[in-house]
C-alpha cells in the first residue's frame, strides 16, 4: 500500500479526465447553457452597476463581467447539484465491491470526480471566458500573482465541492434515500457560492450565514482571488479558509465512511 499509493489516485484523476472526452455533445450543451445564463446575468448585473452609479460594492462593469464569466466558466467543474454516482452505489449496496478494492473509497471518489471536473475547464471555462470577454469585455489583473494563487484556489474550490458532495452521499449509509438532502444541497449551494449574485452584495446577516458554509470556498473565493478583488494577505487568508474547509470535509467524510461502513446492509444474495 505504501509504495505507489499516490500514483493510484493520480491515475484515477487522469481516468476521470479522459472519461469526459467521450461526451463532446454534453460539453457543448453545457457551454450553451453557460453562455445563455451568462448573458442574462450580464444584462441584470450591468444594469445594477449602472443604476448604482458606475460601482456597486466595489464592482465596476469590468470587474462584474470578470465575476460573471469566470463563475459561469467554473459551473461545469464545481458540483453544485449534489449528485454523485457513489450515492446510487451506497443505495444499492454496490459500494461493498468498492470497499474490497485496495484503495481508499473516499480519496478514489474525490480524485475521479476532480479529474472529470478539471477536464470540463477546457471545453467550458475557456470558451465561456473567451466569448464573454470578447462580447462585453472584462477587467482582469495584469500581474501574475493573482493567477498563480488563483489556480491553487480554483483547484481547491473544485476539490472542496466534491469532498462536500461526498458527505451528502455517505449519509446514505444511514438514510438509504438521500434525495431530499441532495435537493437541499442543490438549492442552497449555488445561492451561497455566489452563483447568481456575488455574496458581497448580500446584506451583512446573510453574508455571515454564507461565510459559515463551505459554499463560498467552492466558487466565490476562487473568483475573488483570480480577479484580484481580494489581494495580498487577504487573498492568502481566503485560500487558507478554503484549505480549512477542505481538511474539515475530508476528515468528516473519512469518519462517516469508517462508521457508516459498519452500517452498510447489502440487499439480496
Residues that bind other proteins (CB under 8 A): 23, 25-26, 28-30, 32-33, 35-37, 39-40, 42-48, 51-52, 56-57, 177, 179-180, 183-184, 187-188, 191, 196-197, 201-203
Report, in Å, the least distance between residue 7 CB and other proteins.
31
Report the distance separating Cα 45 and Cα 193, nearest Å. 17
Identify whether the C-beta of residue 134 lies closer than 8 Å to the C-beta of residue 126: no
Identify which of residues 44 and 259 has a Cβ nearer to other proteins in the complex. 44
Identify which of residues 29 and 93 has a Cβ nearer to other proteins in the complex. 29
Residue 18: closest CA among 28, 10, 7, 29 = 10
Rounded to whole angstroms, what are the CA distances from 81 to 22, 183, 230, 263? 22, 7, 27, 26
Identify which of residues 27 and 95 has a Cβ nearer to other proteins in the complex. 27
Instruction: Tell me the three cell numbers of residue 91.
Output: 443505495
The continuous run of DSSP H or E covering 143 comes out as none
Identify which of residues 27 and 225 has a Cβ nearer to other proteins in the complex. 27
Report, in Å, the least distance between residue 180 CB and other proteins.
4
Report, in Å, the least distance between residue 85 CB and other proteins.
14
Report, in Å, the least distance between residue 151 CB and other proteins.
26
3-state secondary structure of 15: helix
Identify which of residues 77 and 257 has a Cβ nearer to other proteins in the complex. 77
Residue 239: closest CA among 250, 225, 252, 253 = 225
Report, in Å, the least distance between residue 26 CB and other proteins.
4
Residue 221: closest CA among 250, 200, 249 = 200
Beta-carbon contacts of 156 under 8 Å, excluding residues fewer than 6 positions away, are 217, 222, 239, 242, 243, 246
3-state secondary structure of 202: coil
3-state secondary structure of 269: coil
Identify which of residues 6 and 22 has a Cβ nearer to other proteins in the complex. 22
Report the distance separating Cα 217 and Cα 194, nearest Å. 10
Report, in Å, the least distance between residue 43 CB and other proteins.
5
The H helix count followed by the E strand count for the chain is: 14, 0
Identify which of residues 96 and 207 has a Cβ nearer to other proteins in the complex. 207
Report, in Å, the least distance between residue 235 CB and other proteins.
24
Amino acid at each position: 500500500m505504501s509504495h505507489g499509493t499516490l500514483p493510484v489516485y493520480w491515475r484515477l484523476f487522469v481516468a476521470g479526465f479522459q472519461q469526459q472526452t467521450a461526451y463532446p455533445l454534453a460539453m457543448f450543451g453545457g457551454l450553451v447553457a453557460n453562455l445563455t445564463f451568462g448573458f442574462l446575468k450580464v444584462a441584470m448585473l450591468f444594469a445594477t452597476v449602472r443604476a448604482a452609479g458606475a460601482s456597486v460594492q466595489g464592482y465596476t462593469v469590468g470587474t462584474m463581467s470578470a465575476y460573471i464569466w469566470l463563475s459561469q466558466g467554473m459551473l461545469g467543474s464545481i458540483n453544485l447539484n449534489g449528485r454523485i454516482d457513489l450515492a446510487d452505489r451506497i443505495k444499492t449496496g454496490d459500494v461493498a465491491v468498492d470497499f474490497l478494492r485496495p484503495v481508499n473509497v473516499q480519496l478514489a471518489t474525490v480524485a475521479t470526480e476532480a479529474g472529470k471536473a478539471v477536464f470540463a475547464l477546457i471545453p467550458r471555462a475557456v470558451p465561456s471566458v473567451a466569448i464573454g470577454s470578447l462580447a462585453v469585455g472584462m477587467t482582469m489583473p495584469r500581474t501574475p500573482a493573482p493567477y498563480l494563487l488563483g489556480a491553487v484556489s480554483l483547484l481547491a474550490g473544485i476539490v472542496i465541492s466534491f469532498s462536500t458532495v461526498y458527505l451528502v452521499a455517505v449519509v446514505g449509509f444511514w438514510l438509504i434515500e438521500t434525495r431530499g438532502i441532495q435537493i437541499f444541497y442543490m438549492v442552497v449551494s449555488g445561492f451561497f457560492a455566489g452563483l447568481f449574485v456575488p455574496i458581497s452584495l448580500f446584506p451583512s446577516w446573510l453574508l455571515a450565514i454564507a461565510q459559515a458554509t463551505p459554499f463560498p470556498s467552492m466558487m466565490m473565493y476562487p473568483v475573488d482571488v483570480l480577479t484580484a478583488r481580494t489581494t495580498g494577505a487577504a487573498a492568502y487568508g481566503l485560500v487558507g479558509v478554503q484549505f480549512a474547509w477542505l481538511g474539515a470535509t475530508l476528515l468528516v467524510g473519512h469518519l462517516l465512511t469508517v462508521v457508516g461502513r459498519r452500517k452498510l446492509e447489502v440487499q439480496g444474495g
